[in-house]
Structure 1
Amino acid sequence: MNRMILAGILIPFAGTTLGSAMVFFMRKEMNEKVQKLLLGFASGVMIAASVWSLLIPAIEMAEQEKTIAWIPASVGFLLGMGFLLLLDTITPHLHFTEDEPEGIPSHLKKTTMLVLAVTLHNIPEGMAVGVTFAGVLTENTTMSMTGAFALAIGIAIQNFPEGAIISMPLQSQEISKTRAFVYGTLSGIVEPVGAFLTILLTGLVVPLLPYLLSFAAGAMIYVVVEELIPEAQSGEHSNISTIGVAAGFVLMMILDVALG
């Protein structure tokens, strides 16, 4: 793996780390309106990335291989949704806006389950970055290094507020700012790990690339529909999160079209 690709798969993790560091500079409670705006922004980025960076390239690759174009995109998308549904069902985790944990019963600490909830969100993002760089390694004409970096940068941008959303509420669990920062950072470590494993898998089975692209898209859309948008739309000021979705979607679309 060359240095550019290694740097690329670390970019989203850097976004999470920098966002988590906001716990040292901001007040204890994040403003509710700001949090809704950031959740909406993250949703918009993930939706746009799923379409422009993952599903469209998957369809184009299938067309190049003279197969029915919609089959890899459809199959991979549904498998990605199912995979996240399974993880969501069996992994004990707790969302910041809820009091009851989800997943199988466990005796884990509340802070651990809060971090696990966000870690689940980061798995498909790591896969998405990994599979786009895998496409570059296979020298597929539909994937470019600039396009892969555009996706990595877009996810890093949405990871920055996400890192802050993770670390700051952890202070209300009576833990120090340093520990809150560490927990927020650790929630993002699955992204470079997932990206690296995806690159290895794709290198072994190149024909799987269209399926893996759409698999990552399905997993990301699951996170948006199941977690991010419901949290952003709960309570008052839901229109603010809608503005965030529009801003995140347009920014990611511009990044992908301009750099891809």
Structure 2
Amino acid sequence: MGSALMGLAAGIITGGSTMLGALPILKKESKAWNPWRSLNLDFAIGMMLAAAAFNLIGPAYSSTSGALGVSLALLLGIVSIYGLSHFIHSFSPTQYSLHRRAWLFVTAMMLHNLPEGLASGAALSADTLSQANGWTVVGAIVFQNFPEGLATAAAFLSIGLSRRAAFFGAAMTGVMEIVGGAAGGIFASMTNASLPYILAFAGGAMISVTLEEIFAKLKETNMRYLYQKEFVLGAMSVVVMNWIIQ
């Protein structure tokens, strides 16, 4: 399978997991019936951070001698997502009608999910080109997307949207991951020389998204979060998965 199709497949898998995670919102007793309740977000954060480091950024540096270019691509990935996130959050939702508030939230979640799709698409494409363990990255993102899909749908529901509209809004954020996955695969298919920079950019974007969650946790736990059991186990699971795949 070509790199472009591999990237699209990765996007469909990760985007589909967001949609699947949002399905319980369609059931009225959603609080009582939550199949993803046992999935711990801290475990998923640990997985995503380790996957970005070991399966995206690490292979990017090891597959080329252009360390400066890879570093710049990594920095660009971090800065671009931080800038977009800051731009979205600079608006106060209270200044908008219910309809505009809902679309503002959709836009914010799309920007959050785009780098995840890009990371999965680039990593899975790289799996056939540079021995990077792309399936580990995809697995980490899927694990995180199940509870996130439901949380996104619940947020839509809380601002007054119907259950169907809430599911549709969450599903739209999953579509963005499919777009990101296809883009990652297409860019990777253009030339092998560009692959390390694509991986570095995707890794930087993925780390930027993950660190936003970690910093919020650190404010609550005063650094204790970094050795919290679930977070550490999530990171270690990626190491084990890499060992098994290799």
Shift of 1:149: 2.4
Task: State the Cα distance separating 1:53 from its structure 2 match.
Answer: 1.0
Relative to structure 1, the CA distance from residue 201 to residue 59 in structure 2 (aligned partners, 3 Å threshold; closer, same or farther) is same
Q: How does 1:110-259 map to 2 (within 5 A)?
A: 110-136=101-127, 139-143=128-132, 147-226=133-212, 228-233=213-218, 242-259=228-245
Residues 153-210 of structure 1: CA deviation (Å, up to 9, x unaligned): 2211111111111112322212222211111111111111111112212222321111
Whole-angstrom CA distance in 2 between matches of 1:156 and 1:93? 29
Question: Residue in 2 aligned with 1:18?
Answer: 20
Deviation at 1:256, TM superposition (A): 2.9
Aligned AA (2:125): A
**Distance 1:71-1:237 versus aligned 2 partners, 3 A rule:** closer
- Residue 92 of structure 1 and its aligned partner are, at CA, apart by 6.0
Question: Partners of 1:258 and 1:82 in 2: how far apart?
Answer: 33
Matched, 1:59 2:44: no
Listed one character per residue, the Cα deviations across residues 198-257 of structure 1 (whole Å, up to 9, x for unaligned) are 22122223211111111111111111223x224445658996894442232223332233
User: Is the Cα–Cα contact under 8 Å of residues 166 and 184 in structure 1 kept in the other structure?
Assistant: yes
Q: 1:40 to 1:238 in 2, by over 3 A?
A: farther
Decide whether the 8 Å contact of 1:53 with 1:151 is kept in 2. Answer: yes
TM (norm. structure 1) is 0.77
TM-score, normalization by structure 2: 0.81
| Alignment deviations for residues 115-147 of structure 1 (CA, whole Å, 9 cap, x no partner) | 2222222111111111123324xx53433xxx2
Q: Is the 8 A contact 1:72 1:214 kept in 2?
A: no
Query: Is the 8 Å Cα contact of residues 126 and 193 (structure 1) preserved in structure 2?
Result: yes
Assess, with a 3 A threshold, how the Cα gap between structure 1 residues 89 and 11 changes in structure 2: closer, same or farther: same
SS of corresponding position for 1:247? helix
Q: Which runs of 5+ in 2 are unaligned?
A: none
Q: How many residues align?
A: 237
Which residue identity is paired with 1:220? Answer: M
Asked if the contact 2:10–2:178 (Cα under 8 Å) also holds between the matched residues in 1, the reply is: no
Give the letter aligned to residue 119 of structure 2.
Answer: A
Tell me the distance in 2 between the aligned counterparts of 1:110 and 1:237: 32
How far apart, CA to CA, are the structure 2 residues paired with 1:236 and 1:176?
Answer: 35
Q: Distance in 2 between matches of 1:168 and 1:10?
A: 22
Q: Are the aligned partners of 1:44 and 1:247 in contact in 2 as well (CA < 8 Å)?
A: yes
1:224 alignment partner AA: T
Give ranges in structure 1 of 5+ residues lacking alignment: 95-99
Inter-CA distance 123–171: structure 2 relative to 1 (3 Å threshold): same
Q: What letter is aligned with 2:44? A: A
RMSD between superposed Cα atoms in Å = 3.2
**In 2 relative to 1, CA 234–50 (structure 1 residues): closer, same or farther, beyond 3 Å?**
same
CA distance in 2, matches of 1:225, 1:101: 23
| Compared CA separation, residues 169 and 91, structure 1 to 2 (3 A) | closer
